[in-house]
Amino acid sequence: MNQMTRLVVFTLIVLVCFATPLFAQQPTTPAAPTAAPFYGPAIAAGIGAGLTLIGAGIGFGKIGASALESMARQPQVAGAVGTNMLIIAALLEGATFFSLVICIIMANK
């Protein structure tokens, strides 16, 4: 397995291992009215936001690397490639912000 596959598999294993305690319900017993606050959704939202930003960083890196490589191979299409690169980067940025907003909303519930 290459390094990226190992990272994805490790991340999935960590998320599966911690999913049950993070999303477990807080016990509501009358005997413990001063129970500590439950931060599970906030922790899960933080993990989701982190994964979103890591994925966006990888995506922006691949977009930039591919665009520069194609511009170096064919300099006459540099303008069209640059324009397309900016459009794709803007779409990726929009999806990243949408995911971050969803994480923030879920953390505040």
Give a yes or no: residue 15 inside a domain: no
Domain that holds residue 105: 40-109
Please report the sign of the dihedral spanned by the C-alpha atoms of residue 64, residue 66, residue 68, residue 70: negative
pTM of structure:
0.60
* Distance (Å, whole) CA 67 – CA 64: 5
* Distance (Å, whole) CA 91 – CA 39: 32
What total of structural domains would you count in the chain? 1
Tell me, what's the pLDDT at 83?
A: 92
Nearest of 70, 97, 103 to residue 85 by alpha carbon: 70
Give a yes or no: residue 84 inside a domain: yes
Give a yes or no: residue 67 inside a domain: yes
CA 49 to chain centre: 5
pLDDT (tens digit per residue) in 45-85: 888 888 888 989 998 999 999 999 999 999 999 999 999 99
Give a yes or no: residue 12 inside a domain: no
Give a yes or no: residue 8 inside a domain: no
Long-range CB pairs of 2-11 (<8 Å, 24+ gap) are 11/51
Give a yes or no: residue 61 inside a domain: yes
pLDDT (tens digit per residue) in 16-45: 666 555 555 565 666 555 666 777 888 888
Give a yes or no: residue 73 inside a domain: yes
Give a yes or no: residue 32 inside a domain: no
Comparison of pLDDT for 41 and 1, the residue scoring more: 41
Domain at 94, CATH number: 1.20.20.10
